[in-house]
Amino acid sequence: DVGRGCLSRQSPLNPPSLTPPPIWIDKIQRMSFFSPPTRIGHGYDLHRLEPIAPKGAGRPFILGGIRFDHDRGPVGHSDGDALLHAITDALLGALGREDIGQLFPDTDPAFDGADSRRFLTRAVEIVREAGYRIGNLDATVILEQPRLGSRKMEIRTHLAEILGVGVDDVNLKGKSHEK
């Protein structure tokens, strides 16, 4: 799956708690001197699905922090949440920082079975510490089974909560590879 994040730097004229009226923002942004630099990041992740333990090496199926009832699950050192891993990498990538594998090595027993929301939450903090805020997220999940279908909104809402943005700022597309 692929996550794309868009960040824009907080202008001192536009702090989060003191937002000027939209017409002001428009005027400020037209003046190149005050234009906040926008950075875009891209993330990708892939996890193999296997029957859930003890039948196989799969962990319970979790995507975007949401648990699905499914007989197969991702193989991974953490909980194997490919969507959260890709978004984490998109945020870190936008800043030009170390990627998820460098920040949270899969050789570290502390991350064995870890809830991946922990990684994403840390990446969101890093974004804020660097003086940026998240603009929007556009993500594509490539998955045969289970289908995202009815749970898309649940995932979007959950992601928006973690990222500190509105649900309308999070987009999620589900694709299956046609065979």
Residues found near Mg ion in the complex (CB under 5 A): 45, 85
Which residue, 173, 175, 174, 169, is CA-closest to 157? 169
CB of 117 to Mg ion, least distance (A): 13
Instruction: State the minimum distance, in angstroms, from the CB of residue 104 to Mg ion.
Output: 10
For Mg ion, which is the closer residue by CB, 45 or 165? 45
Between 48 and 175, CB nearer to Mg ion = 48
Crossing angle between the packed helical segments 152-163 and 82-95, to the nearest 10 degrees: 40
CB of 52 to Mg ion, least distance (A): 17
Whether 61 and 81 have beta carbons less than 8 Å apart is answered as no
State the nearest-atom distance from the C-beta of 34 to Mg ion, in Å.
Answer: 38
In whole angstroms, the minimum distance from the beta carbon of 62 to Mg ion comes to: 12
* Closer of 45 and 73 to Mg ion (Cβ): 45
Residue 10 neighbours by CB distance under 10 Å: 14
Nearer to Mg ion, 105 or 131 (CB): 105
Please give the helix or strand (H or E) that residue 5 lies within, else none: strand 2-9
Helices (H), the chain: 22-30, 82-95, 100-103, 117-129, 152-163
Task: Considering the complex, state which of residue 7 and residue 79 has its C-beta at the smaller distance from Mg ion.
Answer: 79
Q: How many CA atoms lie within 13 A of 143 on its CB side?
A: 29
- C-beta nearest to Mg ion: residue: 85
